[in-house]
Structure 1
Amino acid sequence: MTDQLSTPKGPQAMPPVVDDAAWRAALDDLRRREKAATRELDAIAAQRRRMPMVEVTNHTLTGADGPISLAEIFDGRSQLITYHHMWNDGAEFQCPGCTGYTSQFTRLEFLDNYDARFVIVTNGPIDEALAYRRRVGNRMEWFSAAGTTFGSGVDAAPGEGFAINVFLRDGDRVYRTWHTNGRGTEQLGHSFALLDVLPWGRQEEWQDSPDGWPQRPTYSGWADSTDIAHFYGEDS
């Protein structure tokens, strides 16, 4: 890992100890806020389902087997999620955040029952992208948008950031229905959700934590791309 977990020192780094009744009362109080957040997320999802959509060009991207249209990437399904992976041509290791984030998604077959698919798109050359996929042991299917304006059109132009986009297909016509980037991508993965239920949370310096909680610079606890390759890659 890129940084070692801070070792808590003394009782100041521990939650207060109470009896069971007090603990359950505190949990009930927190649960009210958790339930309110769940209901708000349900309401947001309902609004998302009522979003209009915009037609996009049926770009020709490149996959492992050569040129492929955006509509064909759906592989017969009606819905498609794409993660636009940040890319630097020729680099041995790419963005650690993108590499670590996409390493979460190892079992996506359940989407078949929902008429949907989730793939990675990058602005890099397909041969480099596929080699990197093997190097870091990524399990998703990769496509290249190199030489097209697809990345720019979905708010993930070359040299810019990552993005998640969702599309709906009607025959050969493709429509963009949703987009997010930055911390908006967190709700689609499990890594941060698991960290957030831990007593010390993510342990990053921006978080609101009690005095004495272990904290360190933001991102410093994340696995680097080399770590991902070591854990899951072709030479692991």
Structure 2
Amino acid sequence: MSAPHIESPRIVSREQWLTARRELLAREDASARALAELEEQRRSLPMVEIDQEYVFEGRTGKATLPELFEGRGQLIVYHFMFDPSWDAGCKFCSYLIDNLGDLSHLHARDTTIAVVSRAPYPRIEAFQERMGWTVPWYSSYGSRFNYDFHTTQDETIAAVEYLYRTKDELIDAGLDWMTQGEQAGLSVFLRRDDAVYHTYSTYGDGTALLHGIDNYLAFTPQGRPRLEEKGGWLRHHDKYREGQR
């Protein structure tokens, strides 16, 4: 599968390159400072106590939201798009999970990551085995979890909301496809004694920082692929053979 054609950078002397690189470095430093400030604002967000009881199904059976923490103080949940009628999970969500590294580094920071989908657990288990992933993965089938965190859109169950916009706001913005079915997102929870708090959620492009491969590609002349480009070449990692989706 060939990469898209791009115009090569212009050829200059080493001195000219160094001048241009130093100019870019100043902009990179300013961007890093702005990102650090944004991260501080994210950490300063208030939190909301979870008063709803959610029950999931995972590898060892039933589990509550507090049990997803696995005894740690922080929990990151990736809302993986996997409709109960699908045989395989979303390829874009799969790309994100492929970028997960050794989870012991998260555990050392008192943090657990778990994947949650609405598909029944036997479908999840079969797909997870196919993909070779070991990250904890749970089914929320039969609970309100996906609806309450706006990653399944069905207005017969809960009001449609995505990217913190109402259904009408999404339609007005030309984002009709976000008003129904499965959507991706990430939510963060904090546990203090017996209480669980919701501290943060992000959706859509808000999870782009988790695409490690994209971040590597951002250093190259070809650059990171745009979302519309990914639709043309992205596969489940076991399907990178001509003609396989």
Q: TM-score, normalised by structure 2?
A: 0.81
Shift, 1:220, TM fit: 3.9
- The answer to whether 1:171 aligns with 2:165 is no
Aligned-partner residue type, residue 176 of structure 1: H
Shift, 1:108, TM fit: 1.2
**Helix, strand or coil at the partner of 1:219:** helix
Aligned residue among 22, 26, 30 for 1:32: 26
| Contact 1:4-1:221 at 8 Å conserved across structures | no
1:171–1:222 distance in 2 versus 1, CA, 3 Å: farther
Alpha-carbon distance in structure 1 between the residues aligned to 2:225 and 2:98 = 21
Task: Find the counterpart in structure 1 of residue 204 from structure 2.
Answer: 182
Alpha-carbon distance in structure 2 between the residues aligned to 1:153 and 1:140 = 23
Alpha-carbon distance in structure 2 between the residues aligned to 1:75 and 1:203 = 35
**Helix, strand or coil at the partner of 1:80:** strand
Alpha-carbon distance in structure 2 between the residues aligned to 1:89 and 1:229 = 22
C-alpha distance after superposition, 1:19-44 (max 9, x if no partner)? 11111111111111111111111001
**1:12-161 maps to which residues of 2 (within 5 A)?**
13-56=7-50, 57-157=52-152, 159-161=181-183
Alpha-carbon distance in structure 2 between the residues aligned to 1:221 and 1:160 = 20
| RCO comparison, higher one (Cα < 8 Å, 6+) | 1
Alpha-carbon distance in structure 1 between the residues aligned to 2:11 and 2:94 = 39
Alpha-carbon distance in structure 1 between the residues aligned to 2:13 and 2:103 = 43
Alpha-carbon distance in structure 1 between the residues aligned to 2:19 and 2:232 = 33
Shift, 1:97, TM fit: 0.2
Task: Find the counterpart in structure 2 of residue 229 from structure 1.
Answer: 238
Q: TM-score, normalised by structure 1?
A: 0.83
Aligned residue among 210, 218, 228 for 2:229: 218
Shift, 1:115, TM fit: 0.5
Alpha-carbon distance in structure 2 between the residues aligned to 1:87 and 1:112 = 26
1:58–1:170 distance in 2 versus 1, CA, 3 Å: farther
| Contact 2:214-2:225 at 8 Å conserved across structures | no
C-alpha distance after superposition, 1:16-67 (max 9, x if no partner)? 1111111111111111111111111100111111110011224111111111
Shift, 1:230, TM fit: 4.7
Aligned-partner residue type, residue 30 of structure 1: L
The alignment of Structure 1 onto Structure 2 pairs a total of residues equal to: 212
C-alpha distance after superposition, 1:179-220 (max 9, x if no partner)? 11111101123121111111111355x8xxxxxxxxxx5224
Q: Identity over the aligned pairs, expressed in percent?
A: 31
Please identify, of 34-43 and 101-110, the stretch whose mean Cα deviation from structure 2 is larger: 101-110
Alpha-carbon distance in structure 2 between the residues aligned to 1:92 and 1:73 = 25
**Helix, strand or coil at the partner of 2:197:** strand
C-alpha distance after superposition, 1:57-116 (max 9, x if no partner)? 241111111111100110110000010100122422221101111111131111111100
- 4+ long deviations beyond 6 Å: none
**Helix, strand or coil at the partner of 1:114:** coil
Please identify, of 20-29 and 88-97, the stretch whose mean Cα deviation from structure 2 is larger: 88-97
**Helix, strand or coil at the partner of 2:21:** helix
Alpha-carbon distance in structure 2 between the residues aligned to 1:84 and 1:165 = 8
Give ranges in structure 1 of 5+ residues lacking alignment: 207-216, 232-236
